[in-house]
Amino acid sequence: MTDEIRHEWPLYEVFVRAKRGLNHVHVGSLRAADHEMALHHARDLYTRRNEGVSIWVVRSDDVAASSPGDKEAFFAPSGDKMYRHPTYYAIPDSVPHI
Amino acid sequence: MSFDDAYEALTDHADDSRWAYGTGFADPLAGVDTAVPDGADRAELAAYCLMLGDDALIMSHRLQQWVTRLPELEDELAIANIALDLLGQARLLFARAAEVEGAGRDEDAYAFLRAEGEFRNVRLTERADADFAHLVARLLAFATWRLALLDRLTASADPVLAAVAAKGVKEVTYHRDYAAQWVVRLGDGTGLSHERMQAATDAVTPLLAELFVPHETELRLVRAGVAVDPAATREEFDDVWARVLAAATLRPFPPAASAGEAPAEAGPEAGPAGGLEAGADGGLDGGLGAGPARGLDGGLGAGPAGGLGAGLGAGLGAGLGAGADAGAGGRHGVHTAAMAEILAELQGVARSVPGGVW
């Protein structure tokens, strides 16, 4: 085997929308040669127990992710701002349907 | 958690199952009438269920043998899923056969306690795959044919067969898609992958003629509105096969497989069709087209009975190898030598521990 074929398929992230779920949820990753194959593989790996009705795949290197080093600056500031939750406010009895 | 309530307005389900994975399973036969349709002979309907069930069982077994040997982890799952789909179809068909036959046999009895000559699967299903290209070529042929068959079977007068077919159509559609994608990927890939994919589709074509030859049981059930005449799937098969191979830049429909209809033209066509490749390929095609295909016509014309037995089957298998399409086929219980090997494995435990339960 002089012309041995070496390859490593790129990594894809898989998002599945559950049968009656509202949004696509990240369920894992897989390797595939292209988007078409990634969808096939995602179907075979992540929906074989009747989990989903819709699949998204995206190349892992196309995902821009926040860095763990930014954690303080990114997320800590929202930790003490209770008033951003609607439940922070008392709703007057005169406001219906909430 | 009162802010979860906002979501309730968006769904009509009050339970938690909308968040759960793997819920909402359905029984494909729920509410289906199980009466045997008028005009259908019980024994023949049972035999027909076994034909379609055996195709699925033996193909499934061959696919299972690939698990742990496939080139990628993802394809392990894909092939295992396909094998399980087919096993599920086999079980439903065997269960229907048992119900119709009414002789006290069950699914296991059909799978594990029958002799080689009692299996009715087409010989395409029992062929061993030399490599992954052979696997996807064979799977493409099988799924294309079975999809055409099941699609028509959804209109069967037997409500159970119609329901099994309706379930199977969705599964086999994916099998065909999976196989076609690989055939195109490899055929239209590198020089080496193209060459090996071409060799694989060429190796499958001699096994195709048998798929479209109706058994007398099938023909009688066609008249009762229960079965599908396999000859009626030919046009769809040829069309899909030709389109996938064209997309894969593979040699168009090789003459060997269509020789059953026009054997005299098989020889001359082999040359030009194979012209893209080296001379050796063209020669191979010519040989296949002229030999076994003519034998098929002659053999069928003579009307060989199923009683020819295993001796003939073994002889054909050993003598013709990949091109074993002469004479009576798998629908008559005549199989290639590979079938004995499959059954030795498939029935191994049932033979060594008869009636064992655990």
Angle at CA of residue B85, ends B83 and B90, nearest 5°: 90
CB contact set of B330 (below 8 Å; sequence gap of 6+): B54, B119, B120, B121, B122, B123, B125, B126, B210
ipTM above threshold 0.90 = no
DSSP state of A65: -
Which residues in chain A have Cβ-Cβ distances shorter than 8 Å to B184?
none
Cβ <8 Å between B25 and A41: no
Report yes or no: A26 at the B interface, CB cutoff 8 Å: no
Classify domain B34-352 by CATH number: 1.20.1260.10
Q: What is the mean pLDDT of chain A?
A: 87
If DSSP codes are grouped into helix, strand and coil, which group holds residue A78? helix
pTM: 0.76
- Within 8 A of B181 by CB-CB distance, chain A residues are 36-37, 40
Q: CB B78 to CB A22 under 8 A? A: no
pLDDT digits (tens, 9 = 90+) for B267-277: 333 333 333 33
**Of B144, B154, B169, which is closest to residue B85 (Cα–Cα)?**
B169
B residues 41..80 contacting A (CB < 8 A): 72-75, 77-78
Picking from A19, A51, A83 by the largest number of B CB atoms within 10 A of its own CB, the best residue to mutate is A19
Instruction: Please tell me the distance from the alpha carbon of residue A42 to that of residue B182, in angstroms, as a whole number.
Output: 16
Structural domain spans, chain B = 34-352
d(CA B171, CA A43): 12
pLDDT confidence of residue B64: 97
Best of A11, A44, A48 to disrupt the B interface (most B CBs within 10 Å) is: A44
Q: What is the DSSP letter of A90?
A: P
- What's the pLDDT tens digit per position in A46-61? 988 877 889 999 999 9
Residues 6+ away with beta carbon under 8 Å from A12? A29, A30, A31, A32, A35, A38, A41, A42, A57, A58, A59, A60
B310: buried, middle or exposed (CB in 10 Å: 19+, 13-18, 0-12)? middle
**Which residues partner with A24 through β-bridges?**
A17
Q: Give the pLDDT of chain B (358 residues) as one tens digit per residue.
A: 444 554 554 444 445 444 445 556 678 788 888 889 988 999 999 999 999 999 999 999 999 999 999 988 899 999 999 999 999 999 999 999 999 999 999 999 999 999 999 999 999 999 999 999 999 999 999 999 999 999 999 999 999 999 999 999 999 999 999 999 999 999 999 999 999 999 999 999 999 999 999 999 999 999 999 999 999 999 999 999 999 999 999 996 665 544 444 433 333 333 333 333 333 333 333 333 333 333 333 333 333 333 333 333 333 333 333 344 445 799 999 999 999 999 999 999 999 998 888 7
Domain ranges, ordered by start, for chain A: 11-84
CA distance B3 to A87: 7
Choosing among 3.10.20.520, 1.10.645.10, 3.30.530.20, 3.90.1150.10, the CATH entry for A11-84 is 3.10.20.520
Residue pair A25/A16 in contact (Cβ under 8 Å)? The answer is yes
CA–CA distance, B69 with B167 (Å, rounded to integer):
29
Q: Determine whether the interchain pair B72/A40 forms a contact, defined as Cβ–Cβ distance below 8 Å.
A: no
**Chain B contact for A8 (CB, 8 A cutoff):** no
